[in-house]
Structure formats: structure tokens, C-alpha cells
């Protein structure tokens, strides 16, 4: 049977012989039956930024670089958050190479 934290309503997980809330730290004595770890989740990988000669094949846009003020940059879209959220726009200045991002 799954138990939930009375403070924040998250699932209590087995930890050191007790049931513990991974969010607020609430602990209680309880049965561990029915709990089983299938696999440990991996940490998110870093976002890959385009480098090298690949950049020259990207489209350009008229936008001011926040670092040097140049008004032309390469741009690309990348999904950096959940699939139900919009993509992130990346820009790279054609003059100084500064890369920045813009969210919707």
C-alpha cells in the first residue's frame, strides 16, 4: 500500500528502515512491503550548444547582441524543458560569438 506525506502529499519512500518524504523530509515508521526500486533515474544531461563549422549553416536574424551590440546573430531552437512547454531559442552573435537564450 502506498502512503502519502501528511504535510505535502508526496509519496513516502523507504529510507533507512522508515518511510520518508523526499520533498519535506517527514518520516514515519511503516511497512516497506509493496515498495521496490526499479531503476535509479539519471541526472539530466547538459544542453548541447552548437559549435564549430556547424554554426555557419544556421539561419540568421537581426537582433542585438547583449554583449557587444552587433545586430546580427545565428539562431536555433532546442527542446530544453518538458515536451508540453515551448522550445528555447538560442542566439549566437556573428561578431563576438556570445551565445544567449530566450524563453517564451
Q: How far is residue 63's CA from residue 40's CA, in Å, rounded to a whole number?
A: 43
Task: Tell me whether residue 84 is one of the annotated catalytic residues.
Answer: yes
Q: Cα–chain-centroid distance for residue 91? A: 19
The verdict on whether residue 82 carries a ligand-binding annotation is no
The verdict on whether residue 24 carries a ligand-binding annotation is yes
The verdict on whether residue 21 carries a ligand-binding annotation is yes
- Which is catalytic among the residues 84, 87, 102, 104? 84
Task: Tell me whether residue 104 is one of the annotated catalytic residues.
Answer: no
Nearest to 37 by CA among 5, 11, 71, 63: 11
- Which is catalytic among the residues 64, 85, 87, 102? 85
In the Cβ-directed half-sphere of 36, how many Cα atoms lie within 13 Å? 3
Summarize the annotated binding site as residue ranges.
5, 8, 21, 24, 65, 68, 93, 96
Residues tagged active-site: 84-85
Summarize the annotated binding site for Zn(2+) as residue ranges.
5, 8, 21, 24, 65, 68, 93, 96
Amino acid at each position: 500500500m502506498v502512503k502519502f506525506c501528511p504535510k505535502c502529499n508526496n509519496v513516502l519512500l523507504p529510507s533507512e528502515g522508515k518511510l520518508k518524504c523526499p520533498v519535506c523530509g517527514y518520516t514515519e515508521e511503516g511497512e516497506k512491503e509493496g515498495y521496490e526500486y526499479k531503476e535509479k533515474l539519471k541526472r539530466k544531461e547538459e544542453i548541447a550548444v552548437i559549435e564549430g563549422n556547424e554554426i555557419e549553416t544556421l539561419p540568421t536574424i537581426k537582433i542585438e547582441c547583449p554583449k557587444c551590440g552587433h545586430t546580427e546573430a545565428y539562431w536555433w531552437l532546442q527542446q530544453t524543458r518538458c515536451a508540453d512547454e515551448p522550445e528555447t531559442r538560442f542566439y549566437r552573435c556573428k561578431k563576438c560569438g556570445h551565445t544567449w537564450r530566450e524563453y517564451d
